[in-house]
Amino acid sequence: MRKNYYIISDGKLMRDENTIYFENEEGKKPIPINTIYAIYALGSLSITSKAISYLAKEGVCIHFFNRYGFYEGSFYPRESLISGEVVLRQAEHHLEKEKRLYLAKAFVEGSILNMAKVAKKSGEDDTDIISTLQSLYDAKSIAEIMGIEATARNAYYEKFDSILKELKFEKRSRQPPENEVNAMISFGNSLLYSAVLSELYHTQLNPAISYLHEPSERRFSLALDLAEIFKPLIVDRLIFNLVNNRIIQKDDFDREMNGILLNENGKRKFVKAFNERLEKTIKHKDLNRNVSYQRLIRLECYKLIKHFFGVEKYKPFVIWW
Partner 1 sequence: MLDEMYVRGTQVNYYFVCKTKLWLFSKNVSMEQESDLVKLGSLLQRQFFGREEKDVSIGPISIDVLRRGDEIEIVEVKKSDSIEKADYYQVLYYLYYLSKFGIKAKGRISYPKKKKVVEVRLEEEGEIEEVLERIAEILAGEMPKPEYKSYCRKCAYFEFCFCG
Point out which residues bind partner 1 (CB under 8 A): 80-86, 202, 204, 284-287, 289, 291, 295, 298-299, 302-303, 305-306, 309-312, 315
Measured distance CA(297)–CA(19) in Å, rounded: 29
Of 3 and 306, which CB lies nearer to partner 1 in the complex structure? 306
Compute how many other C-beta atoms are within 10 angstroms of the C-beta atom of residue 59. 18
- Measured on CA atoms in the order 114, 119, 122, 124, is the torsion positive or negative? negative
How far apart, in whole angstroms, are the C-alpha atoms of residue 110 and residue 228?
8
Minimum distance of partner 1 from residue 154's CB (angstroms)? 30
Least CB distance from residue 301 to partner 1, whole Å? 9
DSSP assignment of 38-59, as one string? EEEE-S-EEE-HHHHHHHHHTT
Sign of CA dihedral 275, 279, 285, 286: positive
Shortest Å, Cβ 234 to partner 1: 18
Mutual angle of helices 264-279 and 180-201, in 10-degree steps: 50
Closest approach, Cβ 257 to partner 1, in A, equals 43
**Closest to partner 1 by CB, 272 or 315:** 315
- Closest CB 128 distance from partner 1, rounded Å: 29
Of 64 and 317, CB closest to partner 1: 317
Whole-angstrom Cα distance, residue 30 to residue 48?
15
Closer to partner 1 by CB, 170 or 302: give it: 302
Which helix (H) or strand (E) segment is 278 a member of? helix 264-279
Rounded CA separation 147/145 (Å): 5
Query: How many CA atoms, within 13 angstroms, populate the side-chain half-sphere of residue 238?
Result: 27
Residue (143 or 311) nearer to partner 1, CB: 311
What is the DSSP secondary structure assignment for residue 170, as one 8-state letter? Answer: -
Q: How far apart (Å, rounded) are the C-alpha atoms in residues 304 and 222?
A: 11
Residue closer to partner 1 by CB (options 78, 285) is: 285
Q: How many CB atoms lie within 10 A of CB 92?
A: 13
120 contacts: CB under 8 Å, gap ≥ 6: 126
Distance CA(55)–CA(308), nearest Å, equals 31
Residue closer to partner 1 by CB (options 175, 290) is: 290
167 touches 243 (CB < 8 A): yes
Output the smallest distance, CB 186 to partner 1, in A: 30
Measured from the CB atom, the residue of 30 and 302 that comes closer to partner 1 is 302
